[in-house]
Every structure is written in structure tokens, then in C-alpha cells.
């Protein structure tokens, strides 16, 4: 679910200092072919051993992408199996939790209908609402913050995190801390003013821009793309894909990080360049029939914003989002324009931590990229809650489930229920990771930004969000 360049070195993955693999013997595994293969697959995955994963691939799952599995093991530390929720001869679903974090999801393994020893597909999905008995115990604010800081220090010592944390409630900043280096070449530490690249967190700004134009009557969510991009190369896609499909990742428009893009990375500069590169591509599925995360869908939204507003995407979001919210440290200038407060991204490689500059796009897009500070993102959160950017009813629709998974609204990722309901977004790629969570019932805002590989920043936000007290005395007002 991130802007993640998948060219990750295998050596870097084996160098991470993760704890030993979790046991899978604590739950009852049904004696069915699907359940037993799911157990074996998790056991192989948890070891982080390429040879064991390769053995499972050879025996049962020829389509397994070994490097991707090892990268995922690096990010998660392995999975603990919590319970089996569905099981029959041909398919099993298991609730799993990251070994090195709090994130809970489900893994569904489906067998080949003609061979009970062959895996047809494996899908993993985060859970929008986690069963209460699987959640950590709520703590006092002081204790939750102490635990958060200790976890951040531990990740810093393991070279898994460097960056900034901010916790606020009702506009009052309750915790603001900085960890590690913004730049290692000149020993520059992270400060409150340090800017970090945002990755997919920029999708929130794109969604707000679209919704502003909807409120002004300049866009309609159910209008097809061709209404606004009449010259779009693939007319079938343009006639059948609506703005609502693009906002909710149900348009089948695919990704942008392809081999074709990599060959033209620094020449692909504006949204129009991406359309020239991918505009002839057919949809991956009938729009509206499925849900699949699509960076290109948000590039198309950026192009629509440009056509309708008569401004460049970057000028529009600056004038209509950043300025009204008071965000003066957020933007997406080309990477070649040096900014003294922008941190350098560091990614793990065979040589240790190295600068991620050669993986970056020419500049950020409506799908992701750009940079901000924890302070600016807190201002963005308050502007949303106070009705400065869109009307309260529009925000309510944007942060209500709009997809079958329950994980996505309009440009916002969702989770929790009741007073624990939250919305926001994460972003990550090599050398960058960030997350913003907004709890509308309590006014809490939790932010982490990092100039290192995922998932440390987003894991820290999850960790604190799952333990902080849910105080409902804070209210927000729409203006």
C-alpha cells in the first residue's frame, strides 16, 4: 500500500536485527490441506531463510516472488498466527499480527482446484477493525508516551529509524521529539524544522483538492474521466472510469513504478508526462468491480485538477490547501532544487546505509512524493477538523468507508471504530516513511516522519495509537 520501489538488496534484508521467528503452535490448525499449507508457509516466511522459502516455492507455490517475500519479512519481522477464521478443503483465512509491530491483518491461502498440494494464491489484507481481544491494553497518556519514546530509541539504536514524532490533542502539542540524523555526511541532526519526504501521504492533499472542486461545482465524483480529459489516449478507460473510482482505488488504473518508468525516471516530470507514458494502457479490471491500490489513478486526478483549475497541481495545492492551513514547509519542488532543511533519505544496501537519491522521481506528484514537517501535518489535521479546507459533511464522506475492504475513503486510509476510529495515510519507499492518524472523536493527532526505510514511522504511530487513552472531552468545531 505504499510508494515502494521493490528493488531491494537481499543482503540488506538479512542484516536487519529482528528477533527469532514466532511459533505457530499456539493455535489449533485444522487438519485440512489449505490450513496445513498455510502453517508451513508462515513457518518458512518467519525464518527469513531464502533456502526454506525457495523449498516451499518449489514444492507448493511456483508463482511466489522470493525477493518480495524476503523484503516483506524484513519489514514485518514475521507473523504470529492468532486464529483461523475460515477453513475448508480449498481455502483458509488466518488472522495474523506482525512480530515486530501491532498491525493485524488476515492471510487467505487458496489451493489450486486440481492439485491440493499447490497454492493458487496468497493474499494479505490489513484489518480495518481489529477484534477487541487482540488489541493492546490502553495506558495513561504519560505511560503511553514513555513506551513510544522507548520504542523509538530502540529502533534508532538498531538503525531502523531516524525522524520526528508529534502527538497533539485538540491543537495542543503533547509530545514533540526528534531522533537521529537528518544528514550523515555533515552530521546534521533532525530538528522540529526538518522536512521529510512523504511518499503516498500526498494522496490526502490530492483528495482534498478534488473534493474542494466538487464543492464548487467544478467536478462531479461520478463523472467519467473523459469529461475532464477529453483527449485521454485510452478512450475505453476514460469513458468507464469515474473520479470516484480513482479516489477509492477501484478504477483498475495500475501502478507507475514500472520498468518503462525506470528507464525514463528523470524525464518523467509532470502529470502530462505520466499520461503520455501510461495513457494507452487498458484498465486491469472493469472499473468498480475490484479494489486495487493505484498510484496512476492519483496521477490522473492530479491531471484533472490541472485541467479544471487552470493551474498546475502544485500551485493549486499550495494556494488552496497549504496556505489556508498555514503550512509553510510543505511542497514538491524538483529534487535538483536543494533545500537546506530537507533530510537525506537513507536506505539499507550491501554497503550499509546509503543515500536514496538515485531512486527518487524528478519531483513529487499527486500520487506521492513531496515533503513536509510534523508541525505542518499537525496544522493540516487541525485545518481539516476545523472545516478550513472542506465542509464537515464532505470530510465525513471522505473519511467513511468507500470500499469493500473498509480500508479506504476518498484519499484517506481508515481504521478503528467508536472513539478509536481514525483516518489519515501512510507513505513509504526506500529511505522514507511517514504516517498521520487523526482521531475525530477525541481530537488526537499522531504523526511520525522518517528518512529511513519503512515501516518504523508507521509502526510507531500504530503503537501509540493502540495504547493512548481515548479521552472524548475534546471537541472540534466546523467553521
Number of domains in the chain: 3
Position 266 confidence tier, pLDDT thresholds 50, 70, 90: confident
| Residue with cell string 472542506 | 390
Confirm if 435 and 209 have CB atoms less than 8 A apart. no
- In tens, the pLDDT along 394-419 reads 999 999 999 999 999 999 999 999 99
Cell of 411: 484519499
Question: 154 and 225 share a domain?
Answer: no
The three-class DSSP label of residue 123 is strand
Question: 456 and 347 share a domain?
Answer: yes
pLDDT computed for residue 473 by the predictor: 59
Question: 298 and 337 share a domain?
Answer: no
> Which segment of 286-290, 355-359, 445-449 scores lowest on mean pLDDT?
355-359
Alpha helices in 310-423 (DSSP H): 313-317, 323-325, 374-385, 392-398
Question: 122 and 180 share a domain?
Answer: no
Confirm if 190 and 180 have CB atoms less than 8 A apart. yes
Q: What are phi and psi of 99, to 5 degrees?
A: -65, -35
Rounded CA Rg of the chain: 22
Asked whether residue 377 is assigned to any structural domain, the reply reads: yes
The three-class DSSP label of residue 91 is strand
Averaged pLDDT for residues 422-427: 97
pLDDT computed for residue 475 by the predictor: 47
> Which segment of 76-85, 135-144, 338-347, 422-431 scores lowest on mean pLDDT?
338-347
> Which segment of 131-135, 294-298, 322-326, 471-475 scores lowest on mean pLDDT?
471-475
pLDDT computed for residue 24 by the predictor: 57
Q: What is the mean pLDDT of the chain?
A: 90
The CATH number of whichever domain residue 210 belongs to comes to 3.40.710.10
Asked whether residue 291 is assigned to any structural domain, the reply reads: yes
pLDDT computed for residue 9 by the predictor: 28
Question: 274 and 238 share a domain?
Answer: yes
Position 383 confidence tier, pLDDT thresholds 50, 70, 90: very high
Averaged pLDDT for residues 332-355: 86
Averaged pLDDT for residues 198-202: 96
pLDDT computed for residue 338 by the predictor: 63
Averaged pLDDT for residues 256-267: 83
Q: How far apart are CA 368 and CA 361, in angstroms?
A: 10
Confirm if 392 and 403 have CB atoms less than 8 A apart. no
What's the pTM? Answer: 0.88
> Which segment of 45-59, 110-124, 199-213, 346-360 scores lowest on mean pLDDT?
346-360
Asked whether residue 323 is assigned to any structural domain, the reply reads: no
Averaged pLDDT for residues 282-303: 94
Quickly list DSSP for 63-77. T--HHHHHHHHHHH-
Q: How far apart are CA 239 and CA 283, in angstroms?
A: 11
- In tens, the pLDDT along 4-48 reads 333 332 222 222 222 333 345 578 999 999 999 999 999 999 999
> Which segment of 9-13, 244-248, 325-329 scores lowest on mean pLDDT?
9-13
460: number of Cβ within 10 Å: 26
Question: 353 and 257 share a domain?
Answer: no
Q: Is 307 exposed, middle or buried (0-12, 13-18, 19+ CB in 10 A)?
A: middle
Asked whether residue 5 is assigned to any structural domain, the reply reads: no
Query: H or E stretch including 226?
Result: none
Using the predicted structure, report yes or no on whether residue 260 has a pLDDT greater than 90. Answer: no
Quickly list DSSP for 11-63. HHHHHS-PPPPPPSTTSPPPSSHHHHHHHHHHHHHHHT-HHHHHHHHHHH-TT
Asked whether residue 298 is assigned to any structural domain, the reply reads: yes
Using the predicted structure, report yes or no on whether residue 478 has a pLDDT greater than 80. Answer: no
Note if the bond before 455 is cis, omega within 30 degrees. Answer: yes
- Strands (DSSP E) found in 191-260: 196-197
From residue 200, give the alpha-carbon distance in Å to each of 100, 206, 340: 23, 10, 23
Question: 279 and 307 share a domain?
Answer: yes
Asked whether residue 132 is assigned to any structural domain, the reply reads: no
Q: How far apart are CA 119 and CA 110, in angstroms?
A: 6
Asked whether residue 318 is assigned to any structural domain, the reply reads: no
From residue 25, give the alpha-carbon distance in Å to each of 8, 51, 122, 274: 31, 22, 21, 49
Question: 181 and 213 share a domain?
Answer: no
* Residue at which a domain ends, from 127, 154, 183: 127
Reported as half-sphere exposure (CB side, CA atoms, 13 A), residue 135 has a value of 19
- In tens, the pLDDT along 204-215 reads 999 999 999 999
Averaged pLDDT for residues 133-158: 96
Structural domain boundaries, residue 41: 10-127
Question: 40 and 123 share a domain?
Answer: yes
More confidently predicted of 185 and 143: 143
Strands 444-450 and 163-169, by their bridges, are antiparallel
pLDDT computed for residue 1 by the predictor: 35
Position 337 confidence tier, pLDDT thresholds 50, 70, 90: confident
Asked whether residue 215 is assigned to any structural domain, the reply reads: yes
Amino acid at each position: 500500500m505504499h510508494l515502494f520501489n521493490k528493488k531491494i538488496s537481499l543482503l540488506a534484508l538479512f542484516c536487519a536485527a529482528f528477533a527469532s521467528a514466532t511459533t505457530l503452535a499456539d493455535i489449533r490448525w485444522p487438519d485440512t490441506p489449505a490450513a496445513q499449507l498455510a502453517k508451513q508457509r508462515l513457518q518458512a516466511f518467519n525464518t527469513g531463510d531464502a533456502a526454506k522459502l525457495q523449498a516451499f516455492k518449489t514444492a507448493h507455490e511456483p508463482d511466489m516472488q522470493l525477493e518480495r517475500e524476503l523484503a516483506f519479512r524484513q519489514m514485518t519481522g514475521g507473523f504470529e498466527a492468532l486464529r483461523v477464521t475460515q477453513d475448508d478443503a480449498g481455502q483458509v483465512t488466518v488472522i495474523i499480527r506482525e512480530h515486530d509491530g501491532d498491525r493485524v491483518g488476515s492471510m487467505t491461502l487458496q489451493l489450486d482446484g486440481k492439485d491440493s498440494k499447490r497454492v493458487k494464491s496468497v493474499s494479505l489484507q490489513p484489518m480495518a477493525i481489529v477484534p477487541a481481544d487482540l488489541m493492546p491494553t490502553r495506558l495513561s497518556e504519560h505511560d503511553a508516551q514513555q513506551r513510544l519514546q522507548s520504542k523509538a530509541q530502540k529502533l534508532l539504536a538498531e538503525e531502523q529509524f531516524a525522524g520526528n514524532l508529534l502527538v497533539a490533542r485538540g491543537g495542543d502539542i503533547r509530545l514533540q521529539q526528534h531522533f537521529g540524523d537528518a544528514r550523515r555526511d555533515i552530521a546534521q541532526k533532525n530538528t522540529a524544522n526538518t522536512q521529510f519526504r512523504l511518499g503516498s501521504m500526498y494522496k490526502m492533499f490530492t483528495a482534498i483538492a478534488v473534493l474542494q472542486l466538487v464543492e464548487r461545482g467544478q467536478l462531479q465524483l461520478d463523472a467519467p474521466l473523459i469529461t475532464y480529459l477529453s483527449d485521454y489516449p485510452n478512450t475505453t478507460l476514460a469513458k468507464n472510469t469515474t473520479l470516484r473510482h480513482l479516489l477509492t482505488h477501484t478504477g483498475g488504473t495500475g501502478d507507475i513504478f514500472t520498468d518503462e518508468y525506470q528507464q525514463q525516471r528523470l524525464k518523467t516530470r509532470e502529470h502530462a508526462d505520466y499520461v503520455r507514458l501510461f495513457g494507452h494502457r487498458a484498465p486491469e479490471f472493469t472499473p468498480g468491480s475490484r479494489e486495487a491500490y493505484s498510484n496512476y489513478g492519483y496521477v490522473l486526478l492530479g491531471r484533472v485538477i490541472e485541467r479544471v483549475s487552470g493551474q498546475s497541481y502544485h500551485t493549486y495545492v499550495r494556494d488552496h490547501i497549504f496556505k489556508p492551513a498555514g503550512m509553510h514547509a510543505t511542497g514538491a519542488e524538483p529534487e535538483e532544487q536543494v533545500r537546506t532543511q530537507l533530510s537525506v533519505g537513507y536506505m539499507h544496501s550491501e554497503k550499509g546505509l546509503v543515500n536514496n537519491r538515485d531512486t527518487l522521481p524528478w519531483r513529487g506528484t499527486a500520487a506521492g512524493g513531496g515533503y513536509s514537517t510534523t508541525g505542518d501535518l499537525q496544522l493540516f489535521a487541525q485545518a481539516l477538523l476545523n472545516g478550513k479546507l472542506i465542509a464537515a459533511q464532505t470530510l465525513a464522506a471522505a473519511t467513511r468507508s468507500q470500499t469493500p475492504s473498509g480500508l479506504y475513503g476518498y484519499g484517506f486510509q481508515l481504521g478503528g471504530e467508536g472513539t478509536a476510529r481514525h483516518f489519515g495515510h501512510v507513505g513509504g519507499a526506500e529511505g522514507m516513511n511517514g504516517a498521520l492518524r487523526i482521531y475525530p472523536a477525541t481530537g488526537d493527532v499522531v504523526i511520525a516522519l522518517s528518512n529511513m526505510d519503512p515501516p518504523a514511522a508507521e509502526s510507531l504511530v500504530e503503537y501509540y495509537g493502540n495504547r493512548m487513552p481515548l479521552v472524548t472531552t475534546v471537541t472540534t468545531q466546523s467553521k
